[in-house]
Amino acid sequence: MTHPRNTGPMRLSPRCGARTRKGTPCQAPAVSGKGRCRMHGGAKGSGAPKGNRNALKHGLHTAEARAMRALVRQLTKRTREILDDL
């Protein structure tokens, strides 16, 4: 196949190793030095963040927070009992 542009290096470059949703291999060229194309994680900054940020705890279910909520419930219940007696 002849083409006016120089497409030889592009056609001979290594292909992305990812699979498409159809199950066929991705036909895009891999990013240099990587095994994936820019759409499948070869681009700089793509992929999951470093570390496991999803594992960070917000503190809602710590022992201290549960104890504080139990204390507030007890105080609220006792306050209602005192107000009902008045």
71 or 2, which is more confident? Answer: 71
Q: Is residue 53 part of a domain?
A: no
Q: Is residue 7 part of a domain?
A: no
Tell me how many domains the chain contains: 1
Give the range of the structural domain holding residue 19, as residue numbers without chain letter: 13-45+61-85
Q: Is the pLDDT of residue 1 over 60?
A: no
- pLDDT tens-digit map of 12-52: 889 988 888 889 989 988 888 888 888 888 777 666 667 76
Q: Is residue 54 part of a domain?
A: no
Q: Is residue 26 part of a domain?
A: yes
Residue pair 49/41 in contact (Cβ under 8 Å)? The answer is: no
Q: What Å distances lie between residue 64 and 9, 43, 77, CA to CA?
A: 63, 44, 20
The helix, strand and coil proportions of the chain, stated in percent and rounded to the nearest 5, come to 35, 5, 60
39 or 74, which is more confident? Answer: 74
Q: Is residue 1 part of a domain?
A: no
Q: Is residue 72 part of a domain?
A: yes
Claim: this prediction has a pTM higher than 0.75:
no
Q: Is residue 19 part of a domain?
A: yes
Q: Is residue 8 part of a domain?
A: no
